[in-house]
């Protein structure tokens, strides 16, 4: 079976320091992608660079900060970016396809499924999908949440059930400290669990061109791992280094996972859904959900917030206020307020619901 690989390239790797596309880098990455393709891999590219590519051409002297200016620059730059990829990939008789996505596309299950079917068909036809955020319609808040497309690449990798996610950066992996400041910093070769200590090692954004720093890349790796996708964060600069990164010999840090790919339904619940309310549970219900694979019953509910209805997605929190998961609720908020803390027999006498479980275990995902 072909191995499916998602490669993410950020703005700083594609553009000149002054702004505009670096065609030599586009040519290099296209050559590396073509090499993976020749080896039989199904290759998807998540690319940044539209705003950086377009702001000089549109007449701005520096990268714009206002939302409408960014969107105008992206409208010009996205066309330039795709033209460059098309021309360079054509040298290897490859065709590129453009897919523009926003958070809203992932939040809507039907749109998410349509995007997946499109990607699957393109890969079946041996075409390389090139995916970017749709900056011309996304708000600035959503642009920041995607973190220079780092999180977008992880969501795409999980959605498409990729074998690996390769995030290319100007650092050769994760270090105990910033090696540019402390030459004694030690590189972390492999990570099998992203703890708070690992997150603390990541700093802020590293360049004026891009918007993503190491922290956003670590958070993307965590999303990928939760979706059953292993990840690599590191440098890819020389001929053959992308293949080395995919094969476990790259200059960077590997993030391994033993988790299996989540179903599309579980992915949507865990990564993309927008909760309409919050349910707080006691310690017994928390353990039943997290370790025993049980459904949530009214007896374990201590309180709820928000205005939700049966079929809505809600966030579940521990007694200490920490999010532990999400699920599809079977109660309206007013019904759950009346049933909270009651045994099943008492709930049946007081509230008329189609299912006794507040959240069935098949409609639940642990965070």
User: Binding site for substrate: residue ranges?
Assistant: 48, 135, 149
**Cα separation of 306 and 185, whole Å?**
47
Q: Which residue ranges are tagged as binding site for ATP?
A: 8, 169-170, 211-217
Neighbouring CB atoms inside 10 A of 72's CB total: 20
Q: Which residue ranges are tagged as binding site?
A: 8, 48, 135, 149, 169-170, 211-217
Query: Is the alpha carbon torsion for 346, 348, 353, 358 positive or negative?
Result: positive
Give the CA diameter of the chain: 72
What is the end-to-end Cα distance of the chain in Å, rounded? 31
The three-state secondary structure class of 148 is: coil
**Cα separation of 162 and 8, whole Å?**
13
Phi, psi of 246 (to 5 degrees): -65, -35
- Which candidate, 98, 13, 85, places its Cα nearest to that of 49? 13
- What are the structure tokens assigned to 80, written together? 């330039």
- Which candidate, 175, 155, 181, places its Cα nearest to that of 167? 155
- Which candidate, 231, 202, 222, 200, places its Cα nearest to that of 214? 202
What burial class does residue 36 get, using C-beta atoms within 10 Å of its C-beta: 0-12 exposed, 13-18 middle, 19+ buried?
buried
Task: Say how many residues make up the chain.
Answer: 367
Residues 6+ apart with CB under 8 A from 248: 254
- Residue in the block written with tokens 């000089």: 56
């Amino acid at each position: 079976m072909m191995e499916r690989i998602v490669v993410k390239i950020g703005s700083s790797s594609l553009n000149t320091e002054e702004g505009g596309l670096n065609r030599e880098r586009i040519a290099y990455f296209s050559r590396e992608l073509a090499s993976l393709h020749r080896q039989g891999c199904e290759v998807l590219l998540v690319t940044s660079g539209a705003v950086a590519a377009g702001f000089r051409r549109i007449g701005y002297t520096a990268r714009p900060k206002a939302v409408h200016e960014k969107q105008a620059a992206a409208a010009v730059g996205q066309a330039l970016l795709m033209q460059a990829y098309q021309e360079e990939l054509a040298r290897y008789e490859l065709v590129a396809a453009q897919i523009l996505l926003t958070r809203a596309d992932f939040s809507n299950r039907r749109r998410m499924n349509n995007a997946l079917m499109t990607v699957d068909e393109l890969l079946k036809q041996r075409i390389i999908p090139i995916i970017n955020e749709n900056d011309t319609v996304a708000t600035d808040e959503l642009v920041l949440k995607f973190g220079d497309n780092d999180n977008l690449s992880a969501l795409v990798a999980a959605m498409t059930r990729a074998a690996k996610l390769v995030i290319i950066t100007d650092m050769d992996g994760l270090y105990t400290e910033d090696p540019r400041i402390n030459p004694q910093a030690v590189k972390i070769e492999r990570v099998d669990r992203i703890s708070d200590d690992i997150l603390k090692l990541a700093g802020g954004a590293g360049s004026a061109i891009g918007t993503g720093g190491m922290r956003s890349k670590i958070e993307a790796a965590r999303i990928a791992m939760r979706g059953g996708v292993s990840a690599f964060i590191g440098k890819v600069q020389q001929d053959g280094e992308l293949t080395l990164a995919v094969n476990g010999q790259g200059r960077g840090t590997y993030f391994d996972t033993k988790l299996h790919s989540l179903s599309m339904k579980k992915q949507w619940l865990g990564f993309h859904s927008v909760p309409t309310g919050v349910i707080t549970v006691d310690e017994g219900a928390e353990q039943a959900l997290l370790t025993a694979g049980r459904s949530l019953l009214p007896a374990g509910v201590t309180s709820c917030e928000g205005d939700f209805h049966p079929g809505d997605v809600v966030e579940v929190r521990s007694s200490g206020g920490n999010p532990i998961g999400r699920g599809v609720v079977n109660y309206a908020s007013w019904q759950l307020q009346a049933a909270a803390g009651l045994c099943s027999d008492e709930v049946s006498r007081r509230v008329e619901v189609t299912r006794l479980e507040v959240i069935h275990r098949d409609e639940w995902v642990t965070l």
